[in-house]
Amino acid sequence: MTARRLPWLLLGVLVLAQIAYPLTTGTTRARLTVAVVLLGCLLSVGHALLTRGPRAAAALALIAGGGGLAIEALGVATGFPFGSYDYSGQLGPQLAGVPLVIPLAWTWMAWPAWLAATRLLPPGVGRIALATAGLVTWDLFLDPQMVAEGYWRWLGDGPALPGLDGIPISNYLGWLLFAALVMTMLRPLGGAAVAVPDAGDEPMYALYLWTYASSVLAHAVFLGLPASALWGAAGMAVVAVPLAVTLLRQRSRRPVVPAT
C-alpha cells in the first residue's frame, strides 16, 4: 500500500464508524465515540507525518493535543475560558478532570481546518482567521451532540444561542481564543503560498467536507437536534462551501485524456 492510500483507507474506516453512530445507544455509543475520535486523530497526525514529516506531526500533536489538554484542564478547574462545566465518566480515562480523548478531538479537526484554509487563502491573518473559523464552527455540531448524550454538562446559566439552550456563548468564545492560538502556531506548517492541487491533502479536504455534510444530516434527521443542524450548517459553510467550490473548479479544469 502506498503512503498516499493510507489516509484514504483510514478515512473510509472513520466514515463507516460514524455511519454506525446513530444505530447505537448507551455504552456502545460512548465507546464508538471514543473510537471515532481515536481514528480521526490517527488520520490527521498520520497525514501530517506522511506529507510533511515527523516534525510536522509532532508539532500538530503537541500544539493541538497538548495545548487542548492544558486549556481543557484549565477550563474544568476555573471555568476560563469556556465557562463552568464538567465531564461525566463515559468517555474513558481522565487526567486533571479531562477525558484523554478530548485533546485528541482538537487534534483531529484542527488539521483539516488548517489545510482547508491553506487551500483557500495565502499566508497571513486571513488564513489564520479562516482556519480558526473552520475549527470553531465545528463545535456548533459537537457541543450540542455531546451534551445531549450526557458526556459533559454546563453548570452556568449564561446567554446561549437560540435553540442551543444550556450551552453558553462563552463556550464558543473560548473555542475562538484557543483555536486562534492553535492556528497561529500551526502557521509555519502551511507553506509560502496557497496549497497546490495534488499536494496529497485531498483526504483532509474530504474529511472536512464529510464532517460538514454528515453532521448536518445526522443532527437534522437521526439525532433530533434541528437547532444545531441549522447553526452548524451555517457556521461550517464559511469554510466548507468555498472549499467545495474550489475543488469542483479544480476538477473541471483537469484535461480529459482520450482513450487509446
- Residue 201 C-alpha cell reads as 491533502
**What per-residue confidence (pLDDT) applies to 189?**
79
**What per-residue confidence (pLDDT) applies to 4?**
77
> What is the mean pLDDT of each successive set of 10 residues along the chain, which is 260 residues long?
84 97 96 98 96 94 97 97 96 97 97 96 96 98 97 92 95 97 90 68 97 98 97 98 95 60
**What per-residue confidence (pLDDT) applies to 192?**
59
**115, 195 contact by CB (below 8 A):** yes
Distance CA 72, CA 97 (A): 9
**What per-residue confidence (pLDDT) applies to 142?**
98
Q: What is the pTM of this model?
A: 0.94
**Residue 24, φ and ψ in degrees, nearest 5:** -115, 170
Q: Cβ atoms within 10 A of the Cβ of 239, count?
A: 26
**What per-residue confidence (pLDDT) applies to 160?**
96
Burial label, 29 (beta-carbon count in 10 A; 0-12, 13-18, 19+): middle
**What per-residue confidence (pLDDT) applies to 184?**
96
